């Protein structure tokens, strides 16, 4: 098979081929807006050419810093929220054994990468501190402004821990700041303290930033091959450069989603059959939801982790409201496999003994797909050949370029997120942050 295949054969009863033909002029226009910078949010589209036009000098510094962290730390604490951590977490899970986070020091070939600053839970932070224990650790704090509440709190805590353990000077050598190139609280602090710095590019929004230093440093520390990651994304950049739907699977995906949405399919489930792909779904949810959910419009992004979730909300998928569709992401070649043992046990598995679990998993996938289609749920399949860094880079770019087209097809700016500020404003008011006094009174009266 090719690096990535996109199967829409099970959509025949839901979307007529002629509908895609009718969408072609709009796709062509969306492509032109995206690539010429004439569409809304054009200032944040540098990710389009990023796989081939990234800063090679910084890339080499990322690799050097990763080696330094690997040499002196058993743990890397990555502090960030949203796009500042989801991509890295997804990639690290995708490229490693499922239980690698629980490996002992003797079993590890790279530091354990853990994540903080993505919630406001003291319980979580205390548990993480206990997990680190007496082990040597470093910190990668990721924030364009440096003032986002969740990561700012976590950074205060871990900066203090580093200074207590290594002294003020020693702590500085273990803090890596990924932030704005020119301004912001974190940039100012990093300059003053002498932290090694990496850049969050101005033209790349957080949810598209996994292929920048935001994602690349944690991925490299965890042992990921970031050269191959970028090579895969670069190959996809070439593969998905044609505006003709017949020649561009990513644009087909965007067009089919649009056609389904117009028919009332307003929820999309990204499906996987591998636990190491669960976090990829979390990255995808932000990419889709933050890009498209505006102006009272947008497909609601959700995930299904099968076959596990088939035993919880599978009933709803099969026979609930017919407003959802599924996109299955699967891998052709399993990373590893298990042969089902041959025994005399009366457990109803005699017909499967000697088979590979990957075969059973594949049949479960195919059988579920057919059952859901028969139940009125449109299904698409995105399949990559291998679960490695090259194919991950390719897959990431597939979804990124698709959502850019999809947003324009739906008449929204896919590159802003004005609604994200609403909860922050209320939180600041309730916490009594200076400058929010009037809002504080209003909100407390409502409560």
pLDDT at residue 430 in the model: 80
**Active-site residue (options: 197, 290, 326, 400):** 290
CB 154 within 8 A of CB 163: no
Residue 438, helix vs strand vs coil: helix
pTM over 0.75: yes
User: In Å, how far are 60, 87, 210, 354, 425 from 419, measured between CA atoms?
Assistant: 36, 21, 22, 53, 11
* Closest C-alpha to 219, from 52, 90, 129, 384: 90
**Active-site residue (options: 67, 319, 424, 441):** 424
Residue 444, helix vs strand vs coil: helix
pLDDT at residue 305 in the model: 97
CB 268 within 8 A of CB 259: no
pLDDT at residue 1 in the model: 56
* Closest C-alpha to 215, from 69, 66, 85: 85
What tokens appear for 80 in the block?
Answer: 């960030």
Distance in angstroms (rounded) separating the CA atoms of residues 446 and 424: 17
What tokens appear for 212 in the block?
Answer: 């920048």
pLDDT at residue 204 in the model: 97
What tokens appear for 101 in the block?
Answer: 């986070």
pLDDT at residue 361 in the model: 96
Distance in angstroms (rounded) separating the CA atoms of residues 150 and 144: 13
pLDDT at residue 443 in the model: 82
290 included as an active-site residue: yes
Q: Determine the Cα angle at 230 with ends 228 and 235, to 5°.
A: 95
CB 84 within 8 A of CB 150: no
Residue 9, helix vs strand vs coil: helix
Collect all residues with Cβ–Cβ distance below 8 Å to 326 and sequence separation of at least 6: 268, 269, 270, 271, 304, 317, 369, 372, 377, 378, 379, 380
Strand pairing category for 379-384 and 267-272: unpaired
Mean pLDDT, each 10-residue run in order, the chain (447 residues):
91 94 97 97 97 98 98 97 96 95 86 96 97 97 92 97 98 97 96 97 96 98 98 98 97 98 98 98 98 96 97 97 98 96 91 95 97 98 98 98 98 91 82 85 87
CB 402 within 8 A of CB 6: no
Distance in angstroms (rounded) separating the CA atoms of residues 292 and 388: 29
Domains detected in the chain: 4-40+235-410 (3.40.50.10490), 47-229 (3.40.50.10490)
Count how many residues are written for the chain: 447
pLDDT at residue 103 in the model: 87
Quick one: angle between helices 213-221 and 56-72, nearest 10? 40
Distance in angstroms (rounded) separating the CA atoms of residues 401 and 233: 11
Q: For residue 299, what is the DSSP state?
A: P
């Amino acid at each position: 098979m090719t690096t990535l295949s996109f199967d829409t054969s099970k959509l025949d009863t839901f979307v007529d081929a002629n509908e895609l033909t009718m969408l072609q002029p709009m796709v062509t226009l969306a492509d032109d807006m995206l690539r010429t910078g004439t569409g809304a949010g054009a200032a944040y589209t540098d990710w389009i050419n990023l796989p081939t036009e990234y800063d090679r000098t910084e890339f080499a510094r990322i690799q050097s810093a990763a080696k330094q962290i690997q040499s002196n730390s058993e743990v890397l604490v990555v502090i960030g929220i949203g796009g500042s951590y989801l991509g890295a977490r997804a990639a690290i899970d995708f490229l490693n054994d499922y239980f690698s986070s629980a490996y002992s020091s003797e079993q590890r070939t790279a530091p354990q990468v853990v994540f903080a600053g993505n919630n406001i839970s003291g319980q979580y932070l205390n548990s993480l501190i206990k997990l680190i224990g007496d082990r040597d650790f470093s910190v990668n704090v990721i924030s364009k402004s440096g003032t986002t509440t969740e990561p700012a709190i976590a950074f205060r805590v871990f900066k203090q821990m580093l200074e207590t353990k290594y002294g003020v000077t020693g702590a500085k050598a273990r803090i890596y700041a990924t932030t704005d190139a020119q301004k912001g609280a974190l940039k100012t602090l990093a300059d003053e303290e002498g932290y090694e710095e990496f850049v969050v590019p101005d033209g790349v929004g957080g949810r598209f930033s996994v292929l920048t230093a935001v994602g690349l440093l944690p991925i490299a520390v965890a042992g990921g091959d970031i050269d191959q990651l970028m090579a895969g994304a670069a190959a996809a950049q070439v593969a998905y450069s044609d505006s003709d739907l017949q020649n561009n699977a990513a644009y087909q995906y965007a067009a089919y989603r649009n056609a389904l949405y117009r028919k009332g399919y307003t929820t999309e489930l990204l499906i996987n059959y591998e636990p190491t792909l669960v976090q990829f779904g979390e990255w995808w949810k932000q990419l889709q939801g933050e890009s498209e959910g505006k102006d009272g419009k947008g497909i609601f992004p959700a995930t299904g982790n099968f076959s596990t979730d088939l035993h919880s909300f599978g009933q709803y998928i099969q026979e609930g409201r017919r407003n959802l569709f599924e996109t299955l992401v699967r891998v052709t070649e399993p990373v590893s496999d298990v042969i089902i043992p041959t025994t005399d046990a009366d457990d109803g598995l005699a017909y499967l003994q000697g088979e590979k679990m990957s075969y059973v998993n594949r049949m479960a996938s195919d059988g579920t797909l057919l059952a859901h289609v028969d139940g009125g749920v449109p299904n698409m399949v995105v399949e990559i050949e291998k679960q490695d860094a090259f194919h991950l880079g390719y897959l990431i770019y597939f979804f990124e370029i698709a959502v850019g087209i999809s947003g324009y097809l739906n008449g929204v700016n896919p590159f802003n997120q004005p609604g994200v500020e609403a909860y922050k404003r209320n939180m600041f008011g309730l916490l009594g942050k200076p400058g929010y006094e009037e809002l504080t009174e209003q909100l407390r009266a409502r409560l």
